[in-house]
Amino acid sequence: MSSSRRIVIMFTIVILIFFKLSFVLLHDSENDNCPYNDERNKYTEGSNRWQHYFDRIAKANKEFELSADCLSESDDPCSACHDRVRADDLTPFSGGITRSMVEQAEAVSRVTKYQIINGKLYRSEDCMFPFRCTGIEHFLLKLLIDHEIPDSEFVVNTRDWPQLHRAVTRDPVPVFSFSKTAQYLDIMYPVWAFWCGGPAISLYPRGLGRWDEHRESLGQAAEAWPWEEKLDLAMFRGSRTSSERDPLVMLSRRCPSIVDAQYTKNQAWKSSKDTLGMEPAQEISLESHCQYKYLFNYRGVAASFRFKHLFLCRSLVFHVGDEWLEFFYPAMRPWIHYIPVPKDADMEELYNLIEFAKEHPDISKKIAESGATFIKENLTMRDVECYWRDLLRQYTELLTYKVVRDPKLKLVKSSPS
Give the active site residue among 89, 160, 186, 260: 160
Cβ neighbours of residue 394 under 8 Å, at least 6 residues apart? 86, 87, 90
Distance CA 201, CA 265 (A): 9
Q: Are 76 and 83 in contact (CB under 8 A)?
A: no
**Residue 309 vs residues 3, 74, 208, 278: alpha-carbon distances, Å:** 21, 29, 10, 27
Q: Are residues 227 and 105 in the same domain?
A: no
Distance CA 134, CA 153 (A): 18
Quick one: average pLDDT of 337-350? 96
Q: Are residues 298 and 403 in the same domain?
A: no
Quick one: average pLDDT of 109-120? 96
Q: Are residues 96 and 178 in the same domain?
A: yes
The pLDDT tens digits of the residues spanning 329-338 come to: 999 999 999 9
The verdict on residue 146 lying in a domain is yes
Q: What is the pLDDT of residue 300?
A: 85
The verdict on residue 112 lying in a domain is yes
Give bridge partners of residue 264 from the DSSP assignment. 281
Q: What is the pLDDT of residue 280?
A: 83
The verdict on residue 178 lying in a domain is yes
Q: Are residues 122 and 167 in the same domain?
A: yes
Q: Does residue 124 have a pLDDT over 90?
A: yes
Handedness of CA 415, 86, 61, 66 (dihedral sign): negative
Q: Does residue 51 have a pLDDT over 80?
A: yes
Provide φ and ψ at 408, rounded to 5°.
-80, -15
Q: Are residues 368 and 386 in the same domain?
A: no
Secondary structure string (H, E, C) spanning the chain: CCHHHHHHHHHHHHHHHHHHHHHHHHHCCCCCCCCCCCHHHCCCCCCCCCHHHHHHHHHHHHHHHHCCCCCCCCCCCCCCCCHHHHHHHHHHHCCCECHHHHHHHHCCCCCEEEEEECCEEEECCCCCCHHHHHHHHHHHHHHHHHCCCCCEEEEECCCCCCCCECCCCCCCCCEEECCECCCECCEECCCHHHCCCCCCECCECCCCCCHHHHHHHHHHHHHHCCHHHCEEEEEEEECCCCHHHHHHHHHHHHCCCCEEEEEECCCCCCCHHHHCCCCCECCCCCHHHHHEEEEEECCCCCCCCCHHHHHCCCCEEEEECCCCECCCHHHCCECCCEEEECCCCCHHHHHHHHHHHHHCHHHHHHHHHHHHHHHHHHCCHHHHHHHHHHHHHHHHHCECCCCCCCCCCEECCCCCC
Give bridge partners of residue 154 from the DSSP assignment. 114
**Residue-range definition of the domain harbouring residue 104:** 83-191+381-411
**Residue 107 vs residues 156, 161, 196, 362: alpha-carbon distances, Å:** 12, 16, 26, 53
The verdict on residue 306 lying in a domain is yes
Q: Are 102 and 386 in contact (CB under 8 A)?
A: no
Q: What is the pLDDT of residue 276?
A: 82
The pLDDT tens digits of the residues spanning 15-25 come to: 455 445 444 44
Quick one: average pLDDT of 328-352? 96
Q: Are residues 180 and 210 in the same domain?
A: no
The verdict on residue 263 lying in a domain is yes
The pLDDT tens digits of the residues spanning 281-315 come to: 898 999 999 999 999 999 988 898 899 999 999 99
pLDDT tier for residue 10 given thresholds of 50, 70 and 90: low
Q: Which of 400, 373, 203 is nearest to 289 (CA)?
A: 203
Q: Are residues 229 and 297 in the same domain?
A: yes
The verdict on residue 17 lying in a domain is no
pLDDT tier for residue 66 given thresholds of 50, 70 and 90: confident
Domain count for the chain = 2
Q: Are residues 363 and 287 in the same domain?
A: yes
CATH number at residue 274: 3.40.50.11660
HSE (CB half, 13 Å, CA atoms) of 6?
Answer: 4
Of 208-212, 277-281, 342-346, the one with minimum mean pLDDT is 277-281
Q: Are residues 109 and 140 in the same domain?
A: yes
Cβ neighbours of residue 46 under 8 Å, at least 6 residues apart? none
The verdict on residue 8 lying in a domain is no
Q: Are residues 351 and 362 in the same domain?
A: yes
Distance CA 286, CA 295 (A): 11
Quick one: average pLDDT of 37-48? 58
Q: What is the pLDDT of residue 393?
A: 97
Provide φ and ψ at 307, rounded to 5°.
-50, -55
Is 151 among the catalytic positions?
no
Q: Are residues 155 and 92 in the same domain?
A: yes
Q: Are residues 229 and 263 in the same domain?
A: yes
Q: Does residue 370 have a pLDDT over 70?
A: yes
**Percentage of the chain modeled with pLDDT above 70:** 88
The verdict on residue 348 lying in a domain is yes
Q: What is the pLDDT of residue 29?
A: 47
Q: What is the pLDDT of residue 18?
A: 47
Q: Is the pTM of this model over 0.85?
A: yes
How does the average pLDDT of the chain come out, rounded? 89
